[in-house]
Copies of this chain bind each other. A is one copy, B any other.
Amino acid sequence: MRRAAPDKRPYHHGDLREALVQAGIDILTEGDLAGFTLRECARRAGVSHAAPKNHFPTVDHLKAEIGARGFEQMHRVLAAAADAALSQSADARLIAMGKAYVRFATANSAAYKMMFRDRDSFERTPHYVVAAEAAWVQLGEAVAAVIGVERGDVDARAAHVFALVHGFASLVIDGRLPPGLETDRVIAQSLASLPAALRGLGTP
């Protein structure tokens, strides 16, 4: 068994797979999505450019793994936001989660892009699929708590919420909203109207 940080870099890295993932996350944290490169990850891990092949057959596999971790982290952030609002109403919890969603996306814009962009080019690894699915389930539960479980069609309402928060997140990240707009206030306003809108949805 080899320790993680031996004194003299042995031939084998020790935990190259994890080092590559971490290097990739570091690059994204620096906000340099274009700088995300398989060779650069290898470079940061202190390894030759072809070494990653043993752990990730393709750069898309690495992207899928990092994207999966992004979903997992977002899941934790949303769960924490919901927990913090546990004493409040289901409406307040959903709103808190919506705010946390947009905040996470904008604070980790490069990672967020990697989570959503180019999904087709990802080999859909099981890890990625499971992590992305969990986000959907989490959202559906919060929506169900708002509209009441007996009212069917939770998915349609969850899609409404998903579209709204993902839309805001994308627009803010890409700087697509007009410069003068107070995005925080606008988003808070839209989210505040969400529970009522969900209850009215599909019932004219």
List residues of A whose CB falls within 8 A of some B CB: 34, 116-117, 119-121, 132, 136, 155-156, 159-160, 162-168, 170-171, 174-178, 180-181, 183, 185-186, 189-190, 192-193, 196-197, 200-202, 204
Q: Give the chain B neighbours of A180 by CB distance below 8 A.
A: 155
Please, which residues of chain B bring their CB within 8 A of the CB of A201?
189-190, 193
- Complex-state Cα separation, A174 to B189, whole angstroms: 27
Tell me, in angstroms, the Cα distance from A8 to B189 when the chains sit together.
Answer: 61
Q: State whether A200 and B196 are in contact (beta carbons under 8 Å apart), knowing that A121-B34, A177-B159 are contacts in the complex.
A: yes
Bound-state CA distance A190–B132 (Å) is: 23
Please determine whether A190 and B160 come into contact, CB atoms closer than 8 angstroms: yes
What separation, in Å, do the CA atoms of A171 and B201 have in the docked complex? 20
Residue among B155, B178, B189 making CB contact with A202, cutoff 8 Å = B189
- Which residue from B120, B159, B177, B192 sits with its C-beta under 8 Å from A175? B120
CB distance from A41 to the nearest CB of B (A): 20
B156 touches A181 (CB 8 A): yes
Q: How far apart sit A143 and B111, CA to CA, in the bound complex (Å)?
A: 33
A197 to chain B, nearest CB (A): 5
A189-B193 Cα distance, complex, nearest whole Å:
16
**A190-B163 in contact given A121-B34, A155-B178, A156-B181 (Cβ < 8 Å):** yes
Docked Cα-Cα span, A164 to B185, in Å, equals 17
